[in-house]
Structure 1
Amino acid sequence: MAFVEKKLPADAPVVDKALNWVDSRFPLTKLWNDQWGKYYAPKNFNFWYIFGSLAMLVLVIQIVTGIFLVMHYKPDANLAFASVEYIMRDVPWGWLVRYMHSTGASAFFIVVYLHMTRAFLYGSYRKPRELIWLFGFAIFLCLMAEAFFGYLLPWGQMSYWGAQVIVNLFGAIPFIGPDLSLWIRGDYVVSDATLNRFFSFHVIAIPLVLLGLVVAHLIALHEVGSNNPDGIEIKENLGPDGHPVDGVPSHPYYTFHDIFGVTVFLTIFSFVVFFAPEMGVTSLSTITLSRLTR
């Protein structure tokens, strides 16, 4: 098939010309329209349907803050705790980045739990949305693994003994438990080997899997369409224009719907980050490990 580029008037805006040039080589506008711009969603979305977009927002916050934290963190048993204190005390705005990351981790689970609650309330696990549910379940498992691997990284008392307890849970599995615990730790106790492998899983392996599952989750969602409180399949009732009568384009309707939710969420999130990042409790992770526990 011969390459064909759409012809625009000579006086067309530069932005239109640039977009046309890109669209001739990559389906940017088509992707936008298919996935959001002209993607029809039910008209009767309520409060519960805002947490999916909030989960995406928190995921972006976690990735961005995580990148900046890794720039200064040292995955070494002798340097990890000191590097966290360095981030908090000496890195410009390091305290803010770390508190955004730690608060974001808690916010991620809160938002995901509410998102799952909506799925239970309105039957989003039923046909034809089984794959959406399964991908979401896999995302939840990845989040738990990501939180577990990241919990050890501050290398303080609470993170160390928390990791020790959780790893020892695998030791309770009959026959293979002790060997499995040893394999997970990489040593007979939680040590530098454990810290390094947990760091690699937390920063590289699990995030890659998580991003892949999120993409699959969204593709499956847009293939079969969103559920709604009334349980009506909007694709079964199309108007003369071929669009669902009971649906509206996601943009601009749900763009502004989500912006309102994001504004409320960021207000609460900012309050916690700036005024109560540790909820008034002095964390044991601010106490370094003694040489006896390394």
Structure 2
Amino acid sequence: WWNFGSLLGLCLIVQILTGIFLAMHYTADITLAFSSVSHICRDVNYGWLLRNVHANGASLFFICMYCHIGRGLYYGSYNKIETWNVGVILFLVTILTAFMGYVLVWGQMSFWAATVITNLVSAIPYIGTTIVQWLWGGFSVDNATLTRFFAFHFLFPFIIAALAIIHLVFLHNSSTNNPVGLNSN
């Protein structure tokens, strides 16, 4: 509870649970994705609540993460190199996961985001275009892209949970149960 770490754990658990229930009703096909999200919100019992908790929970997750990172910067936690590096990897994987989740609705804006943001990878010299075609599963954003993004969006939270455990192991290896450094007497 020192620096939003426990809230991050709670947010991750809520995201995984709501995500599993949403995945039971979601269809990763470009012709059906938007309709399946609409079906979840309209026809599934409390589906609207699941979707809103999942979407807004992601925002809360990032708010807690920014507070966690900010406090870590303020107190010089970057000196705990292993813990900090795992945290940076956690942050990047969380950003990737959120982006892929945003694309899953397959509406006009998420289609645009999938095209534009993944196309930024083409700026990498020599191999950029090849990587973009591999990401897209072809020469444009299509069904293969949506299927891949859904698979990764489903898988990455479990990787995030594993990385969080590694983050905690490194944190408690250096006996940092008193981050402010106050006398416990």
- Give the TM-score range, shorter chain: over 0.9
Which residue matches 2:30? 77
Which residue matches 1:209? 159
Matched AA of 1:176:
I
> Is the counterpart of residue 178 in structure 1 residue 129 in structure 2?
yes
Q: Secondary structure at the match of 1:146?
A: helix
Q: Secondary structure at the match of 2:4?
A: helix
> Is the counterpart of residue 200 in structure 1 residue 132 in structure 2?
no
Which residue matches 2:51? 98
Q: Secondary structure at the match of 1:171?
A: helix
Deviations 1:14-47 (A, max 9, x none): xxxxxxxxxxxxxxxxxxxxxxxxxxxxxxx8xx
Task: Report the Cα offset of residue 202 of structure 1.
Answer: 0.6
- In 1, the alpha carbon distance for the partners of 2:154 and 2:47 equals 18
Which residue matches 1:55? 8
Task: Report the Cα offset of residue 158 of structure 1.
Answer: 0.9
Give me the identity figure in percent: 47
Which residue matches 1:21? none
- In 1, the alpha carbon distance for the partners of 2:50 and 2:184 equals 40
- In 1, the alpha carbon distance for the partners of 2:92 and 2:147 equals 21
For 1:1-294, what aligned pairs fall within 5 Å after superposition? 49-126=2-79, 129-204=80-155, 206-226=156-176, 228-230=179-181, 246-247=183-184
- Runs of 4+ off more than 3 Å: none
Task: Report the Cα offset of residue 151 of structure 1.
Answer: 1.4
Computed over aligned residues only, the root mean square deviation of the Cα atoms, in angstroms, reads: 1.5
Matched AA of 2:28:
P
- In 1, the alpha carbon distance for the partners of 2:168 and 2:184 equals 18
Give yes or no for contact 2:104–2:146 (8 Å, CA) kept in 1.
Answer: yes
- In 2, the alpha carbon distance for the partners of 1:94 and 1:130 equals 42
Matched AA of 1:99:
N
Deviations 1:236-288 (A, max 9, x none): xxxxxxxxxx348xxxxxxxxxxxxxxxxxxxxxxxxxxxxxxxxxxxxxxxx
Task: Report the Cα offset of residue 115 of structure 1.
Answer: 0.2
TM-score (norm 2): 0.94
Give yes or no for contact 2:115–2:141 (8 Å, CA) kept in 1.
Answer: yes
TM-score (norm 1): 0.60
When the two structures are aligned, how many residues end up with a matched partner? 184
Task: Report the Cα offset of residue 130 of structure 1.
Answer: 1.4
Structure 1: which 5+ residue stretches go unaligned? Answer: 1-44, 233-245, 249-294
Q: Which protein has the bigger helix share?
A: 2
Task: Report the Cα offset of residue 203 of structure 1.
Answer: 0.3
